Amino acid sequence: MSRRQEVLLAVVAALSVLLGAPAGAAPTTAGSGNAVNQFPEGFLFGASSAAYQIEGGWNADGKGESIWDRLLHTFPNLTTDGRNGDVAADSYHKYKEDVEALASIGANFYRFSISWPRILPTGDTNVINQAGIDYYNNLINALLEKGIQPLVTIYHWDLPFELQKLGGWTNPRIAEYYVQYAKVLFENFGDRVKLWITINEPDMFTKGYATWGQQAPSVNASGIGDYQAGHTVLLAHAGAWHLYDEHFRPTQKGKIGITLNIDWSEPATDSADDAEAAERSLQFTGGLFAHPIFSSEGDYPSVVRLRVDANSKAEGRGVSRLPSFTTSEVEYIRGTSDFFGLNHYTSWYVADGVEGTVPSKTYDSGTITTPMTEYPLTYSAWLRVIPSGIRKIVNWVSKTYPGHPILITENGCSDDGSTLDDQQRIEYYTGYLSEVVKAINVDGVDVIGYSAWSIIDNLEWMAGYTNHFGVFRVDYDDPDRPRTAKASASVLKKIYESNSVPLEYFTPDSSST
């Protein structure tokens, strides 16, 4: 039996254990022989990346143009440093070095995304780019040879520009194009890929249809375009899940879910109004996409529906800015995820009140968000180190949408790139992982895996290359783009290989917020 076959068998076995446990089953706890700092047997540890942020090769070997290619070529000054993803970390040519980096920290899975226009240059199946398929086949095979299972994100923000000409995600027909794209991936990679994520962070990338200069394609249609894009995204996700479930799962035997980004919302005061506002904030970010998929009743959260409908009417509109699903669409979307993919980075104070433009999602939510300034700030102005937030958010997900295993698909912090001795990142990872393991062993939350963002430094969207999230530095001033391990790489290796947060790093008590 080859190493690749051994890995595939191990992946299938691990998935059956991790994702097949009865809903609500509590993991092993300290009281049953597992130390409170020890993760459950078979816990998944990995690291993440995204195609546009690391691959480069923007027009290599038949790749088509993406909305990010078009935006940053047309408006180069949108990024902080005026740079784009044309070369990035050159992972299109240096993917083997990325695989070596993953192996060196003991990762047992790699969450990466596939570039839609690298596979389908026009966005449609009329042109299938074999060179793109070959690239991802080579990457997947290299991972399996190292005993690392691929976790593939089908869409991580790089829509083919040819589809943006049709309106992009605001056009409901894009869901049909997306499902056909997913079919090509299942057909070509599903024999080896056993974990799939349909779509990454719809709450973030739909801002590209709301506000100029935040996300591609930068269509300024606040409070309208973002809701319509999100509506299409949910139908696209459900379509891909049903396609896999009906036509590919019986033979490929994998799992498929979605990844949502949810920061923790901490009530700004002890008042009931602020407590309700904090919950509304969670529903307008996470719940907007989670509730149609993971709740027992489906559809949008009632608080979102009521507030957007009321504001739309008050603005003199004949129809709500938030589209409606038909009864059959509600049923079609409900239950379409095998796990809850969660990206979490930080937390915020939330108070009852009104801010934001009219119309906008922020205005509709009726909340005012402020930073928790008592906590350390990273190099990113939006990101503070608040470990307790991740324990609170996985508990919220578990209680709000019970019965779904949680896979943490992104978590990490940035530095300025000036040193390899990244002590703040070490404090961040050890603090957040301490809270994750306590959520599992003390609170009984069904968290099945954790992925650090990111394995290497990358283009951090509008921040360009000024924010460094990697546990491996990439020297962007060197044409060869060498990777060098930071101090955090050895700490993650200790955690991943021991299946625990070593006691020297473990924080036994949550920080209060």
Per-residue pLDDT of 13-51, as tens digits, reads 655 555 654 333 333 343 334 689 999 999 999 999 999
> Computed from CA positions of residues 98, 55, 345, 397, in that sequence, does the dihedral angle turn out positive or negative?
negative
Q: Does residue 217 form part of some domain?
A: yes
Number of domains in the chain: 1
Which one of 55, 162, 279, 410 is the catalytic residue? 410
pLDDT in tens, 125-176: 999 999 999 999 999 999 999 999 999 999 999 999 999 999 999 999 999 9
Model confidence at 59: pLDDT above 90: yes
Give yes or no for a contact between 408 and 45, defined as CB atoms under 8 angstroms apart.
no
pTM: 0.95
Q: Does residue 297 form part of some domain?
A: yes
Give yes or no for a contact between 469 and 413, defined as CB atoms under 8 angstroms apart.
yes
Give yes or no for a contact between 151 and 111, defined as CB atoms under 8 angstroms apart.
yes
d(CA 239, CA 245): 10
**Structural domain that includes position 27:** 3-498
What's the CATH code of the domain at 383?
3.20.20.80
Q: Is 175 left (phi over 0), alpha (psi -120 to 50) or beta?
A: alpha
Q: How confident is the prediction for the chain on average, in pLDDT?
A: 94
Q: Does residue 509 form part of some domain?
A: no
Side chain identity at residue 375, one-letter code: Y
Give residue 4's pLDDT. Answer: 57
Give yes or no for a contact between 203 and 288, defined as CB atoms under 8 angstroms apart.
yes
Side chain identity at residue 213, one-letter code: G
Give residue 317's pLDDT. Answer: 98
Of 116, 137, 138, residue with least CA distance to 128: 116
Q: Does residue 399 form part of some domain?
A: yes
Q: Does residue 503 form part of some domain?
A: no
Give residue 508's pLDDT. Answer: 82
Q: Does residue 513 form part of some domain?
A: no
Give yes or no for a contact between 105 and 146, defined as CB atoms under 8 angstroms apart.
no
pLDDT in tens, 60-101: 999 999 999 999 999 999 999 999 999 999 999 999 999 999
Q: Are strands 483-485 and 472-474 parallel, antiparallel or unpaired?
A: antiparallel
Residue at token pair 């794209």:
181
Phi (first) and psi of residue 282, to 5 degrees: -65, -35
Give residue 251's pLDDT. Answer: 98
Model confidence at 10: pLDDT above 90: no
Give residue 348's pLDDT. Answer: 98
Token readout for 135 is 């690239």
Which one of 55, 97, 162, 201 is the catalytic residue? 201
Q: Does residue 216 form part of some domain?
A: yes
Residue 371: partners with Cβ closer than 8 Å, 6 or more residues away:
348, 349, 384
Please say if 145 is a catalytic residue: no
Please say if 201 is a catalytic residue: yes
Residue 11 pLDDT class (50, 70, 90 cuts):
low
Give yes or no for a contact between 143 and 194, defined as CB atoms under 8 angstroms apart.
no
Q: Does residue 403 form part of some domain?
A: yes
